[in-house]
Structure 1
Amino acid sequence: MTEDPFEPYDGSGHPARVPLPRDSVEDTGAPLPAPATAGQGTVQPLALEHPVLKSLLGAWALAACAPEEAAAVEEHLGECGTCADEALRLREAVALLQRPESLDLDPALRTRVLESCLERRPPRIPVPEWAAAYDAETARLDALLQDFGDAEWHAPVRLRWYEADEAVSRRTTVAGVIAHLMTVDGLVAVALGLDDPLGEVTAERPTPSARTEAYWRAAHFPPTRSVRAPWREQTHNLVRTVSFTGGQDARGGMPVQYGDFGLPLHDAMLDRAFECWVHAEDIADAVDYPYDPPSGRHLHHMVDLAARLLPSVLQARRRSGLAAPAERRLVAAGEPGRSLRLEIEGSGGGEWLIPLDSPAAKGSAEHEVAHVALDGAEFCRLAAGHVPPLEAAAGQVGDREAIRDVLLAAASLSRM
């Protein structure tokens, strides 16, 4: 029988059905391979001259060197202080080019998603434009609160505002802030015929601060996470109610009383959106969490509300002796008078001419006596009493007295 050279043979004259195991090198008598020495298999640095190593620093900082080149550079950095300093600067520059992305959602994302959806299928009952900012800011705050534990709900928060040109503050907790927002939003709820969150509790005066203090005093225990549900339900009811009735201009102009003053419903909803954002920032600061300003469109509406209120505030401050007296020349209603140009930069920006001598006067570029420039979010924080008024303006030119009066008037818009 001729043996098949490709079939294993077991010595019996027949090819083996299963291949025989290979002999171990230890059974053959052949010498064993030498054991691996320490360091064998690691990258060995190249022997390169100093100029070549220096030219490789940029590629090394970008992690673009070959392994042998990187090893040579790193060995050299331990011996050459000049190259080590240069390598550190290059690494820092690379870190700036590769900034880590925030895990927080863009505050404008919700608006963009809703607009995209509504373009395809318009809502049967749309939210009025003047209530959209309140809808967005309450939703953002609710999302911030969603994962709070007991420690976060009891984190201390200091509410800040200005009274008679003096900084004032009041200490509470995150839960206390939500209770404050709920009781002040209750002024809008009452105007719309909804339930008052104070219930049977009676406030000394129908002002935001008096209502808040009454709610806090009436609670048997400090507010806890349980306040979130009634606050959220109230915000939904407000948005739902103004959506059913807000398409009517007369309804949007319905007055909402704040005790010392009143606002039309459309401005009151914008005011509540503004305060919701400001206090959401207070809460985020208390728990050390980032929180972005509103979208540019909503921020613009908030700035516009504050700018429209400034002439009346200036007049009230003038009557109480807190602002410089107006010019002796009287300005008739609707006529142009001395004006300050308020320029808001960045998101939500624009320009407003603020009449200085009478709320009934008309802002006029021809009668401009001063010009103030601020960032949009910074101006809103000034109006919230969170920024010292005389340190707020990024740029100012013209009548210093007029500038001072307007900045202080903006800060006096704030309240608890």
Structure 2
Amino acid sequence: MTDDHDGVRDLLAAWAFGALPPAEQRAVPRHLARCESCAAEAEQLRETVRLLDGPPRAGRAEGTVPAGGTPRALTAALRARPGAARVAPHAAAYAASVAGLQALLPEAEGRWSTPVVHDWDVHATVAHLLAADEPLAGRLGVGARVPDAGEDASVDWTDAWNRRTAEVIAQEHARTPEETVADWAAQAAALLAAPEARDPEPAARATTLMGVRLPVADHFVVRAFEAWIHTDDIGRALGLAVPPPPAEHLWRLVRLAVRILGLALGPTAPPVLFAVTGGEEWILGSEAEPVRAELTLDPVDFCLLVGGRHTPAEVPRRAAGDQGAVRNVLERAASLSWL
């Protein structure tokens, strides 16, 4: 048990989720009663948790999601994901993705060892997300939930990413799935309580994570993308349909993916007029040549392609013109996946 200022401050996110053991659960309120700064931070975290949970429903205690519901009830719960009104628009998609996964995970009760993707089961997939959020959390001053041995700066980011995922999964498999979920959720709440999630000004600063330099605001969108993809992975593994992100969030994912795809293709690729159904269109590749082809994808299919869940050969598309140029765009989009 700890009652010192720094020790209690490190416990606040888990306390907000009710995820502390009894001894530490009792220590936090005693400290909050005499520390105004921690009390203010704790209230902000509790408000974030309330926003993620949404309003209590009849027969449901605040902060819980009923397990064993029907697929229709689960779909309704996922579609009702809150946008976390207290966060800025750039972080709302991440808040909704976190809420969506929280709505789904009670369905994994008794099925945590169900294979999901790669060689991960449901428990390991949540552990991966715990590791995957760490780089952004660390840049925003949120401490790692799982001790890290440190990283060699010369190691390629993909190798570091894979190493940390394997390390965290190994450690979390020695704990219960409920403990892993509590730590993942507490870390997500701490991210959403950070100033960068609520104020566009500090979120505008650029930082390099996962080999790409983007504003912090865009890194929140990347986190939303990955959380949704793995929520869909878990849903498929459990035989449950997971709806796509709400439209305003989906388009944030699409626009960021198009920007990164454009950078990956570079200015010399054969130019393709790329459109996403119901949205915008862009010219990808060289601006010095006539357009060689047109390609249209559904927004969800495009995100699944970039997320590594569709292959270039199988993704539904409408295409005309130079098929080599079309194939180049599709293959480069698929190559962006690290999930």
Contact 1:340 1:403 in 2 (8 A): yes
Taking structure 1 as reference, are residues 397 and 210 closer, same or farther at Cα in structure 2, changes over 3 Å only? same
Identity, in percent, stands at 30
The yes-or-no answer on 1:146 pairing with 2:78 is no
Query: Aligned partners of 1:220, 1:387: CA distance in 2, in Å?
Result: 29
1:213, CA displacement in angstroms? 1.6
Q: Secondary structure at the match of 1:371?
A: strand
Deviations 1:230-277, CA, capped at 9 Å, x for gaps: 1000111101104566331x533331422x333321111101101111
Match of 2:276 among 321, 326, 344: 344
Query: Aligned partners of 1:303, 1:312: CA distance in 2, in Å?
Result: 14
Contact 1:179 1:223 in 2 (8 A): no
Which runs of 5 or more residues in structure 1 are unaligned?
1-99, 119-125, 159-169, 316-324, 328-337
Taking structure 1 as reference, are residues 281 and 251 closer, same or farther at Cα in structure 2, changes over 3 Å only? closer
Match of 1:234 among 168, 187, 197: 187
The within-5 A match list for 1:163-182 is 170-182=118-130
Query: Aligned partners of 2:130, 2:173: CA distance in 1, in Å?
Result: 18
The within-5 A match list for 1:7-46 is none
Match of 2:139 among 177, 186, 191: 191
Q: In structure 1, what residue type is equivalent to 2:253?
A: M
The yes-or-no answer on 1:268 pairing with 2:219 is yes
Q: In structure 1, what residue type is equivalent to 2:80?
A: L
Larger Rg belongs to: 1
Q: Secondary structure at the match of 1:177?
A: helix
Query: Aligned partners of 1:381, 1:279: CA distance in 2, in Å?
Result: 11
Q: CA RMSD in A?
A: 2.7
Deviations 1:121-170, CA, capped at 9 Å, x for gaps: xxxxx311110000001011011113532x32121112xxxxxxxxxxx2
Match of 1:304 in 2: 255
Query: Aligned partners of 2:173, 2:185: CA distance in 1, in Å?
Result: 22
Taking structure 1 as reference, are residues 229 and 400 closer, same or farther at Cα in structure 2, changes over 3 Å only? same
Taking structure 1 as reference, are residues 301 and 213 closer, same or farther at Cα in structure 2, changes over 3 Å only? same
Q: Secondary structure at the match of 2:133?
A: helix
Contact 2:78 2:103 in 1 (8 A): no
Query: Aligned partners of 2:234, 2:166: CA distance in 1, in Å?
Result: 19
Taking structure 1 as reference, are residues 279 and 220 closer, same or farther at Cα in structure 2, changes over 3 Å only? closer
Taking structure 1 as reference, are residues 383 and 195 closer, same or farther at Cα in structure 2, changes over 3 Å only? same
The yes-or-no answer on 1:387 pairing with 2:310 is yes
TM-score (structure 1 length as normaliser):
0.58
1:294, CA displacement in angstroms? 0.5
Match of 2:300 among 374, 377, 396: 377
Which runs of 5 or more residues in structure 2 are unaligned?
1-69
1:344, CA displacement in angstroms? 1.2
Q: In structure 1, what residue type is equivalent to 2:166?
A: E
The yes-or-no answer on 1:102 pairing with 2:50 is no
Query: Aligned partners of 2:309, 2:127: CA distance in 1, in Å?
Result: 20
Query: Aligned partners of 2:170, 2:72: CA distance in 1, in Å?
Result: 40
1:343, CA displacement in angstroms? 1.6
Taking structure 1 as reference, are residues 341 and 242 closer, same or farther at Cα in structure 2, changes over 3 Å only? farther
1:203, CA displacement in angstroms? 5.0
The yes-or-no answer on 1:356 pairing with 2:279 is no
The within-5 A match list for 1:106-145 is 107-111=78-82, 126-145=86-105
Instruction: Tell me: higher relative CO, structure 1 or 2? Use CA pairs within 8 A at least 6 residues apart.
Output: 2
Match of 2:330 in 1: 407
Taking structure 1 as reference, are residues 106 and 352 closer, same or farther at Cα in structure 2, changes over 3 Å only? farther
Contact 2:88 2:198 in 1 (8 A): no
Q: Secondary structure at the match of 1:228?
A: helix
Contact 2:98 2:227 in 1 (8 A): yes
More strand by share: 1
Contact 2:122 2:234 in 1 (8 A): yes
Deviations 1:260-301, CA, capped at 9 Å, x for gaps: 333321111101101111100110111111211111111111
Q: In structure 1, what residue type is equivalent to 2:188?
A: T
Q: Secondary structure at the match of 1:152?
A: coil
Contact 1:344 1:375 in 2 (8 A): yes
Give aligned pairs, total: 264
1:375, CA displacement in angstroms? 1.0
Query: Aligned partners of 1:399, 1:299: CA distance in 2, in Å?
Result: 29
Match of 2:115 in 1: 156
Match of 1:215 among 145, 154, 168: 168
Contact 1:201 1:214 in 2 (8 A): no
Taking structure 1 as reference, are residues 110 and 261 closer, same or farther at Cα in structure 2, changes over 3 Å only? closer
Query: Aligned partners of 2:172, 2:337: CA distance in 1, in Å?
Result: 26
Deviations 1:81-128, CA, capped at 9 Å, x for gaps: xxxxxxxxxxxxxxxxxxx9933316443448x7xxx6xxxxxxx311
More helix by share: 2
1:374, CA displacement in angstroms? 1.2
Query: Aligned partners of 1:400, 1:218: CA distance in 2, in Å?
Result: 47
Q: Secondary structure at the match of 1:386?
A: coil
Q: In structure 2, what residue type is equivalent to 1:373?
A: T
1:302, CA displacement in angstroms? 0.5
